[in-house]
Structure formats: C-alpha cells, structure tokens
Amino acid sequence: MEQPNLDQEFSTVNATKSKFPIKKVAIGVVGLAVLVAGLGVGLYLVRQNQDIESGATRTPHDVTCPITATDTLQVYSFGGYGVRGDKEGTIGPIPSNILPGEYKITLVAADLGHPGADSQPNESYYVKFYNASNAEIAQSGKTPDLPDQDQVITSVVNGSITFNENVTGITAIHADWQNSNSVNSIHPVCIGIEKLSEKVTLQCNNVKVYDKDFNLLTSGQLKSLSAGDQIKVAVSGGASSGSFDKAQFTINGVQRPEVSSKKSGTQEIYDEYTIPDGVTQFTIKAQIHHKEENKWL
C-alpha cells in the first residue's frame, strides 16, 4: 500500500485553511471603513444642523449704531447678534464703566429681514445692568415692537434711571425670553447712556443793610437814617452746586445797575447807596444771578 505524502497533505490543508481568515479580515476592514464613513456623515449632518439653528440669530447684522458718543453720552454695542423669544434670548454681559448718577437710556433694535411674509408681534428687548459682583442693580424699559415695515428703530426706553453704584456689565434680553415658543427674533444693535444734569436747588436769601463800614444795622438804626448817609445793601443766595456771580437791587421802585462786589469773607454781593433828600421810607428788592444755571432769582 502506497504511503501518503504527509508533507504535501499538511501543506495543502494549511494553504486551504489560510484563505478563510484572509477573507474575514478583508470583510472586517471594509465594514470598519463603512462605519467610519457613516459616523463622519452623521457628525457632518449634526454640525450642519447646529449651524443652521444658530445661524438664524447668531449671524451678525450689518447695522451701524446711529448714536454718537459725547462727553456725557456713552455708547455700547451688542456685537451685531440677535436674540429670540424661544432660544438664544440673551447677549452679554458686555463690559461697561458707568458711574453712579441719573441717566437717560436709548436702545436701538433692528431686523434686516423686514418686510417679511410672517408678522412677529413681539420683536422687542430690554437690558439689565450689573455691578462688579455681577448682581443686578437696575433694568431698563422695553423697546416697542419693531414695525413690520421698518428695519431699524431707535427708542428712549427710560427718560430717567438712577444708578446708585458703578455699572460694570450690561446684558440685552429678548422681551419674551423664556415665555414664548415663537421666534420673534430681534437684533439689539447698541445702547446709549446719557448722563443727565444734576438738579440744582436755588434760593435767594434776605436782604441785609450795613453802614459804610459793614456794620449790620438794626431796625431802630434804619429808622434813624437821614439824607446823605451812606449804606450798603447786600444779598446772598443758596445753591446745591455752582455759585452766584452778580446781583441787582431795586430801591423805592428804581432799578439800579448790576453789581458783583462781594463782602470780604462771604458770598454776599452788595451795592453802595446814599440816602437822598426827602426819603423817610425804603422798599428794597434784590435779585441774584446763578452763574452755572444762568438764572436770576
């Protein structure tokens, strides 16, 4: 009986078996490639969907702030991004440096999609003001709804608002944020914060009568005055700020020229007067002028 060639048989078997793992590995590599490709497409679609959602309001607009800064008017921009009633409802806080005081607040809003097919009745926003500790210290009024036929609106939302401490941050907030499922998108453009003049309290004090050496005269001494006597009539004013620079007296119905001389060491403005013949009674009226307010009292 012929003996089998064991080397040839084992060689044939090994060669035959080796074909299967090679095929399985090849199939596995293809499967992995398909999985990786599918994951890439999935990630791209997710990213694309996120870009579409955020792009609706987070694409900057092309509106220039119409408010011009001055010595008493600060202007802050919100970066051109939008807010919506259903999501992405806030922008900020943006850094600011506003000292305590009384201010007028102006807000500018825009929607370059106007006029559009859909009416959005609540395209409005307001702002909150924060201190250095990020605590809210004040809130502005709301802008009116942007009319469907307009693209930009400028509104004074607070004729007067008072800050009792420094404002270091400002946040723009959609007027219907977290209260609506509708879009009602609006672009907060900028805010104007104008310092209002301080209200000055003014008053005119009583008239004083002195002799020629600035000795204050009593009522009895006034009655004893006679023709030729020289007196000084003086008046002062009170003000919460600023100063008085001149005065004008009317004696017995006759208005005298304006004067600006002040009694030494005081803010009393005086006029020199000589008692005329035949005068026994005096009526003295005085006006005093506030320099900064340019006002007579």
pLDDT in tens, 223-280: 888 899 999 999 999 988 889 999 999 999 999 999 999 999 999 999 999 999 988 7
Counting residues of the chain whose pLDDT is more than 90, the rounded percentage is 50
Counting residues of the chain whose pLDDT is more than 70, the rounded percentage is 77
Residues in the chain: 297
DSSP string, 168-208: EEEEEEETTTTT-SS---BEEEEEEEEEPPPPPPEEEPPPE
Domain range list for the chain: 73-195, 202-296
- What pLDDT, in 10s, does the model give residues 178-205? 776 667 788 899 999 999 987 778 888 8
Region of poorest pLDDT, from 31-45, 59-73, 122-136, 183-197:
31-45
- For residue 182, the model assigns a pLDDT of 66
- For residue 38, the model assigns a pLDDT of 47
pTM over 0.85: no
CB neighbourhood size of 241 (10 A): 12
- For residue 242, the model assigns a pLDDT of 87
Instruction: Compute the chain's Rg from CA coordinates.
Output: 42
d(CA 32, CA 29): 5
Asked if CATH classification 2.60.120.260 holds for the domain at 73-195, the reply, yes or no, is: yes
Which is nearest to 127 in space by CA: 67, 179, 83? 83
Query: What average pLDDT does the structure give for the chain?
Result: 80
- Above 50 in pLDDT, residue 18? no
Burial label, 34 (beta-carbon count in 10 A; 0-12, 13-18, 19+):
exposed
3-state secondary structure of 159: strand
- For residue 199, the model assigns a pLDDT of 73
- For residue 21, the model assigns a pLDDT of 46
Report the pLDDT averaged over residues 65-76.
94
One of 2.70.50.60, 3.90.950.10, 1.10.3720.10, 3.60.21.10 is the CATH number of 202-296, namely: 2.70.50.60
Band (59; pLDDT cuts 50, 70, 90): low
Burial label, 218 (beta-carbon count in 10 A; 0-12, 13-18, 19+):
exposed
Region of poorest pLDDT, from 112-116, 154-158, 205-209:
112-116
Band (86; pLDDT cuts 50, 70, 90): confident
Alpha helix positions (H), the chain: 6-17, 19-58, 219-223
